[in-house]
Amino acid sequence: MPTVTVTGRIEAHAVDVWRLLTDLPGRARRHLAGPVELLTPGPFGPGTAWREPRHRPDGGLLVEEFHVVEAAPPRRLVLSSPGDSVDYRITWTLRGPRRRQRGGTLTTVTLEALPADPYGRVAALLLGALAARAVEHALRRDLADLAAAAEGPTEATRAA
């Protein structure tokens, strides 16, 4: 499968987008994922690992595991996700204003499929284009969900 990249503008500050992206316990509450199962204790950063349910293109659910490889707040987050015969690398890049500036955050998410064995290479060749379309759809949904959470009412206004 080729590398798939999706970019969109989120009308929120980069630090706020970063906070939503990395708030694992709050992800389900903000409809960014199902319930997250933390696998590591401590603050969010390299080495943090968790599992979360994700929607499959056929409407079913699958549980994926993520590991933080790199965290450079509020600009770059790199995750790995082990798969069957293929490992995935997901990179979030946030370019935009910090708190005291106006404007949105240009947000890019890139997924790279890295075949882990010969079967993964063959599957990538045979199913690459089909898988790329499904992945692009999933990444667009992730980006739209993140934008909706960032651009929606704040916790304070929802509580009022």
Residue 98 has what pLDDT? 60
Percent of the chain with pLDDT strictly greater than 90: 51
Instruction: Read off the pLDDT of residues 34-87 as tens digits, 9 standing for 90 and up.
Output: 789 999 999 999 999 999 988 776 777 888 999 999 999 999 999 999 987 788
Pick the CATH number of 31-151 from 3.50.30.30, 3.40.50.360, 3.30.530.20, 3.40.50.720: 3.30.530.20
Cα dist. 95→134, 136, 149 in Å? 26, 20, 18
Q: What is the pLDDT of residue 37?
A: 92
Cis peptide before 74 (omega within 30 of 0): yes
* Confidence (pTM): 0.83
Q: What is the residue extent of each domain of the chain?
A: 31-151
